[in-house]
Amino acid sequence: MKYLLYAFVFLVLSSCKHNDVSSPPCNSEITEIRQDTSYLSTPIIIPVHLIEDKLNRALQHDLMDENSPMWKKNARPSSKMKIKVSRMGNIEIFWKNNVAKYKVPLIVLVEHQIVPKKMLRLSKALALKTEFSLQMVFETTVNIDKKWKIQPKTKFNSFTWLSKVKVAGIIGVEWIVERKMRRQMPIIVENLDSSIRANVHIDRALRRVWRKIQKPIIINRNKEIVWLKINPIRFEMGTITSQKEHLIVQGRILATTETMVGDTPVYRINYHLPPLIKRRSLPDNAYIYMRSEIPFSDINEIVSRNLVGKEFSKSGHTIVLNAVEVSSCPPDLVVHLRVKGAVNGDIYLRGRPQYEPDSQRIVIKNFDFDLKSKALLLGGADWLLHNTFKDQMEKELKIGLSDQMIKIPDRIMKGMEAARIGKKMDLYIEQWDFRPQQIWVRQNDITALIIVNARVVIELEQI
Give the residue among 310, 76, 312 at the shortest CA–CA distance from 184.
Answer: 76
SS3 call for 417: helix
Average pLDDT score over residue span 192-201:
83
Judge whether residue 368 has pLDDT over 60: yes
- Whether residues 277 and 162 share a domain: the answer is no
Give the residue among 139, 159, 141, 161 at the shortest CA–CA distance from 151.
Answer: 141
Please report whether residue 463 resides in a domain: yes
pTM of the model: 0.65
Pairwise pLDDT comparison (138 vs 463), residue with the higher score: 138
Please report whether residue 10 resides in a domain: no
Strand stretches in 33-125, DSSP E: 38-47, 62-65, 81-87, 92-96, 99-115
C-alpha 379, offset from chain centre: 59
- Whether residues 150 and 287 share a domain: the answer is no
- Whether residues 193 and 280 share a domain: the answer is no
- Whether residues 187 and 211 share a domain: the answer is no
Domain boundary among 151, 172, 200: 200
- Whether residues 143 and 168 share a domain: the answer is yes
Average pLDDT of the chain to the nearest whole number = 76
Please report whether residue 280 resides in a domain: yes
- Whether residues 209 and 191 share a domain: the answer is no
How many Cα atoms are found within 13 Å in the side-chain-facing hemisphere of 340? 4
Domain that holds residue 339: 28-47+201-463
CA distance linking residue 365 with residue 350, whole number of Å: 9
pLDDT of residue 390: 79
CA distance linking residue 311 with residue 301, whole number of Å: 19
CA distance linking residue 136 with residue 351, whole number of Å: 76
- Whether residues 226 and 308 share a domain: the answer is yes
Please report whether residue 2 resides in a domain: no
Pairwise pLDDT comparison (16 vs 365), residue with the higher score: 365
Task: Place 126 in a pLDDT band, splitting at 50, 70 and 90.
Answer: very low
Domain boundary among 170, 200, 230: 200
pLDDT of residue 155: 92
* CA-to-CA separations, 337 to 16, 23, 300, 344, 390, in angstroms, rounded: 11, 11, 12, 10, 12
CA distance linking residue 320 with residue 344, whole number of Å: 9
- Whether residues 223 and 301 share a domain: the answer is yes
- Whether residues 167 and 293 share a domain: the answer is no
CB 389 within 8 A of CB 373: no
CA distance linking residue 12 with residue 26, whole number of Å: 28
- Which of 72-81, 226-235, 327-336, 428-437 comes out lowest in average pLDDT? 72-81
> What residue type is assigned to position 202 of the chain?
I
Number of domains the chain is built from: 2
Please report whether residue 153 resides in a domain: yes
- Whether residues 243 and 382 share a domain: the answer is yes
- Whether residues 175 and 303 share a domain: the answer is no
- Whether residues 163 and 259 share a domain: the answer is no
Average pLDDT score over residue span 198-213:
82
Average pLDDT score over residue span 449-459:
78
Pairwise pLDDT comparison (438 vs 172), residue with the higher score: 438
Please report whether residue 1 resides in a domain: no
Domain boundary among 149, 165, 200: 200
Please report whether residue 182 resides in a domain: yes
